[in-house]
Structure 1
Amino acid sequence: MDAPLAELIDQVRTAAGAGRPLRIRGGGTKDFHAERLQGEPLATAGLQGIVSYEPSELVVTVRAGTPLAELQAALAEQGQCLPFEPPAFGAGATVGGMVAAGLAGPARASVGSVRDYVLGAQLVNGRGELLVFGGQVMKNVAGYDVSRVLAGSWGTLGLIVEVSLKVLPVAPAEATLKFELSQAEALQRLNAWGGQPLPLNASCWVADAGVGTLYLRLRGAVAAVEAACRTLGGERQDNAAVAPDWAACREQTLPWFAERGERDLWRLSVPQTAPVLDLPDSPLVEWHGGQRWVRATAAEGAAVRAAATAAGGHATLFRTARPDVAARLQPLDAVQARIQRALKREFDPAGVFNPGRLYPDF
């Protein structure tokens, strides 16, 4: 065990013994998304480096404090990538933060989520014990893969020390098509295309000055992408010109996000087949209809949440301009709350890790 890890374990054990909360922090680029931030900082900056990387095996093992950009650069050198396109939301984003947040970019609906690519992890629990889950190959777990629970846990279960991730080759061909469509027309086409053998990768519908536009990204074999372009029609975009726009969509730097002003940003997760929802503002629609971003005032928040629930989904208050209001997930039902509390008790019995980060009472 190296010195940085030993120091962190000592800090955890001391905090657990004193009942003192700890706030796990990587690059801090997602601090805006929290029910509450409190506790003595537990920094992962000393846990850096790519432990092992086997390009031929499509597996990389990385320490949690490693900059996300460093990992992505190493993969790019080998023509590989993290296909779920994790948003960084800042230059300091880390690999551990990427897994803890569990957030994915435009391609998520086609390629899967962060947890789908977590093969294994090392974790320091609330007792200061170093635990190892999963491994470095795809078929290494009998039963439930505990390491995948860490994706989206926001550091409430323990300190991620190291993760093993599945990676994929960069697709040999890519194309983006542009269509002028209303939201209803875009959702209808996306649903129809989803039932066909097309190399769909990402989609984004947004209204600008009253004109709705759907951007559809295709990725895959050259023949498949070219055949899809001929079949689907639309206006083909220059790949180099449109790449920054897809990155801006991932990082929420598109004008649509900047123009929300003092309104809150809500994230709605709904079935892809959900129709146009009754929302206070025109949304930005991703994931072939499955993710919808909505700008709303404080008074409109309840209506946004009700619309998501009625559609069979849920809503998260993702960003807010109000300093006295925190990001907030959909409240848990009784069964979900019982499971969440049981997990918290098992991993972190003293409740020292990021208390209130996900939900106010645990």
Structure 2
Amino acid sequence: MRREFDSMDDSARLIAQVQRAIAQHTPLRIRGSDSKRFLGRDVQGEELDTRSHRGIVAYDPTELVITARAGTPLVELNTVLDDTDQMLPCEPPLFDGNGTAGGAVASGLSGPRRPWAGSMRDFVLGCRVITGDGDHLRFGGQVMKNVAGYDMSRLLAGSFGSLGVLTEVSLKVLPKPRERRTFALTLGADDAMRELSAWRKAALPVSGACYLDGKLHVRLEGGSGSVKSAVERIGGDEIDCAFWDALRDHQLPFFADTRPLWRLSLPNATPLMPLPGDVLTDWAGAQRWLKSEAPAAEIRRLAHAAGGHATCFTPSPEREPFQPLAAPLLRYQRQLKRRLDPNGVLNPGRLYADL
């Protein structure tokens, strides 16, 4: 049954500010709660704050779709979903607890369940966005089969506000698993990767796999029978499932290290390789968090050699946050930016200096 919620529509102010910035050629720094300001290059410009444009617009649990304004806190959205035993399967990080729905989509970040459930981009059904021409447009819809405009909605996921100002997002949600348990197994790193490969072939209900400090942490989710069977196979010591929330939000002691934090995104089943620093392996090996003082060029060379890329979560003048694009991709990115933000006022330089 469709539910009604209190919400605040501040789209008129946001549209007016974008249109004014276009007329005056004033760059805009688009922000929500600023929980992800550390990720990406700093933007110098007039602040456009989306937090006043907030609230859940529509939610129909039977249709597995929730629509929220960009400034809606993720905590609020998750609370509403909890009440009906549903969830955002991609587990977007909260970081300081103030992350917003718009920021979650704009950053495109996903949590520990991502390899098994999909990324944030996969759950974006539609959106409303203020374009670089000052128009307020709607793309996509509230069902997966609505293909018209769906690619545009997906394109905005991970664009960090450089292609448009998200004002509203429609997200696919799923029922929570009936049972959820987490176990820690003391294993060597190579043995842990071999076990994960075997469990994958056996189709065990794994929804989280992280290797840290000599232990493989595994989350099992699903029906009671399948989880019980998997528990009997993998063994280990049961621990609190809150481990995954701490991992998602970088609250584990590993992340407190003051050295720069790098995220290496690698192909599935990439063998373990020596890295210059301390490593936390997530996504069953497809994501490696690295704490290291090594030069950016060395870290990116290692990631590239493995078929992946590296993002610096502690950027500085000597460390660009995002992997430099190859010439053909940079050309497409420039063309896209010119087409969607012809006046160059939306988060200029957030992703790359020459954009």
**Does TM, normalized by the shorter one, top 0.5?**
yes
| Stretch moving more, 272-281 or 139-148 | 139-148
Q: Return the offset for 1:343.
A: 1.5
Query: Which residue pairs with 2:231 in the alignment?
Result: 229
1:293 is aligned with what amino acid? W
Query: Which residue pairs with 1:113 in the alignment?
Result: 119
1:333 aligned residue (313, 317, 326): 326
Distance 1:178 1:155, change over 3 A: same
Q: Return the offset for 1:3.
A: 6.8
Distance 1:41 1:311 in 2: 39
| Cα contact 1:135–1:164 (8 A) shared by 2 | yes
Q: Return the offset for 1:340.
A: 1.1
Q: Return the offset for 1:144.
A: 5.7
Deviations 1:90-147 (A, max 9, x none): 1321100010011111111110000110000000001110111100112111486210
Residue 296 (str. 1) matches residue 292 (str. 2):
yes
Distance 2:252 2:205 in 1: 25
Distance 1:152 1:3, change over 3 A: closer
Q: Return the offset for 1:336.
A: 1.1
2:254 aligned residue (253, 256, 279): 256
Query: Which residue pairs with 1:274 in the alignment?
Result: 270
Distance 1:53 1:107, change over 3 A: same
Residue 85 (str. 1) matches residue 91 (str. 2):
yes
- Runs ≥4 residues deviating over 4 A: 324-327
Query: What value does the CA root-mean-square deviation take over the aligned residues?
Result: 1.5
Query: Which residue pairs with 1:37 in the alignment?
Result: 43
Query: Which residue pairs with 2:161 in the alignment?
Result: 155
Q: Return the offset for 1:306.
A: 1.2
Distance 1:326 1:350 in 2: 28
Between the aligned residues of both structures, percent identity stands at 48
| Cα contact 2:209–2:282 (8 A) shared by 1 | yes
Query: Which residue pairs with 1:189 in the alignment?
Result: 195
| Stretch moving more, 113-122 or 174-183 | 174-183
TM-score by length of 2: 0.94
Distance 1:138 1:278 in 2: 41
Residue 245 (str. 1) matches residue 252 (str. 2):
no
1:1-362 matches, within 5 Å, as: 4-142=10-148, 145-207=151-213, 212-235=214-237, 237-238=238-239, 242-258=240-256, 260-261=257-258, 263-297=259-293, 299-320=294-315, 324=317, 328-362=321-355
| Cα contact 1:33–1:326 (8 A) shared by 2 | no
| Cα contact 2:140–2:150 (8 A) shared by 1 | no
TM-score by length of 1: 0.93
Q: Return the offset for 1:192.
A: 2.3
Distance 1:192 1:338 in 2: 42
| Cα contact 1:34–1:326 (8 A) shared by 2 | no
